[in-house]
A and B are shown apart, each in its own frame.
Chain A
Amino acid sequence: MSEGQIDEALRSELQRQGVWVTSMQELYNWGRKNSIWPLQFGLACCAIEMIATAASRYDIARFGGEIFRPSPRQADLMIVAGTVTKKMAPQIVRLYNQMPDPKYVISMGACAISGGPFKQGYNVLKGIDRYIPVDVYIPGCPPRPEALLHAFMELQRKIDSQKLTGAGKAEHLDAKQPSEFPVPAFGEHDLQPPANPDVYHPPVLERQS
């Protein structure tokens, strides 16, 4: 994984002899990915599955993510579990802004991804990714605890592949990447702005002629 400093064959050979060779980046990511502390909040029915994931049967503690923090100041991961109403959206963005870097977001369930069954509703935000960057999406209504664990493992994989230095380094290490995103406000009919263009990249439909 470390680029070119030591080749894999030598590494595994050394490992067999009881010598572990690692790099700063690997050590850093290893520590981070095994101690992801989620922010403790649930929005709707998906939160019940999140609670089940944290309880003993599914036991998210096996992945180092059992320490649900009641304060954003101590959290690394925001699990947006449930329907985001337009009334709640500014609070969620503000909570995200108050989390210290590095921070990650799992968008759990159809509601958090797109509004889900309430997409046509006047009061439901059609996806939290309109305002904050989402790392992992979990489809489902609700996703089963296994799905949340899978998303957690995906996130660990992502953290593990983040670079400390160089052009493609992780966002939180890049001084140019923002750590706060604008909080939407209530306008006359809707939240203003309806989406943050820096964050929200909806899929473009390409029709083949």
Chain B
Amino acid sequence: MTPNPYLFIVIFVAVALAFPLLPLGLAWLWRRFFQPPKPGVQKNAIYECGVESIGEAQIQFRSQYYLYAIIFLIFDVEAIFLVPFAVAFTGLPVGAFIAILVFLLLLIEGLVWAWGKGCLNWAR
């Protein structure tokens, strides 16, 4: 009689469960019978490099880099899309052509915005 092929998966899952649970259980027993837990304010502190953490973690960052992100999208990411577009240009259906135009239009809007903000001027 050959064993059910799924039996091995059952064994595998059982071992995979026992492997982490056994040490955790042993640790729990150890804590229960021998080692009393000693939590503390500093022991449970979030930051662990010896320096006290200051203030809240949930703060808002100033988004002063969004202009760089826009410029990056326009001049780097867009170029990557434009090269295959240009190569396959003659064989493109109308739908794909319109799709890429919409994509370009969105980025051109960003370019206009960045231009208006004075991003493209040389810093003096």
B36/A180 in contact, CB under 8 A: no
Q: What per-residue 1/0 map shows which CB atoms of A173-191 lie under 8 Å from chain B?
A: 1110011100100000000
Of chain B, the residue at the smallest CB distance from A174 is B36
Binary flags per residue of A8-23, CB closer than 8 Å to B gives 1, else 0? 0000000000000000
CB of A100 within 8 Å of the partner chain: yes
Asked whether A73 is an interface residue with its Cβ less than 8 Å from the other chain, the reply is yes
Instruction: Give bound CA distance, A101 to B35, whole Å.
Output: 9
The reply to whether the CB of B50 lies closer than 8 angstroms to some CB of chain A is yes
Contact B35 A172 (CB under 8 A): yes
Contact B36 A94 (CB under 8 A): no
Say yes or no for A72: interface residue by CB 8 A criterion.
Answer: yes
Contact code string A111-143 (vs B, CB < 8 Å = 1, else 0)? 000000000000000000000000000000000
Complexed CA–CA distance, A182 and B67 (Å) = 48
**Min distance, Cβ B46 to any Cβ of chain A, angstroms:** 10
A192 located at the interface, meaning its Cβ lies under 8 Å from any Cβ of chain B in the complex: no
- Total A-B pairs, Cβ < 8 A: 44
Q: Does A95 contact B (CB under 8 A)?
A: yes
The chain B residue sitting closest to A176, CB to CB, is B36
Can you list, as one digit per residue, whether each of A83-120 has a CB less than 8 Å from chain B (1) or not (0)? 00000000110110110110000000000000000000
The answer to whether A91 and B40 touch across the interface, beta carbons within 8 angstroms, is: no
Query: Which A residues form the contact surface with B (CB < 8 A)?
Result: 71-73, 91-92, 94-95, 97-98, 100-101, 164-165, 172-175, 178-180, 183
List 5 other contacts, CB 8 Å, given A73-B48, A97-B42.
Answer: A72-B50, A91-B50, A94-B51, A173-B36, A180-B41
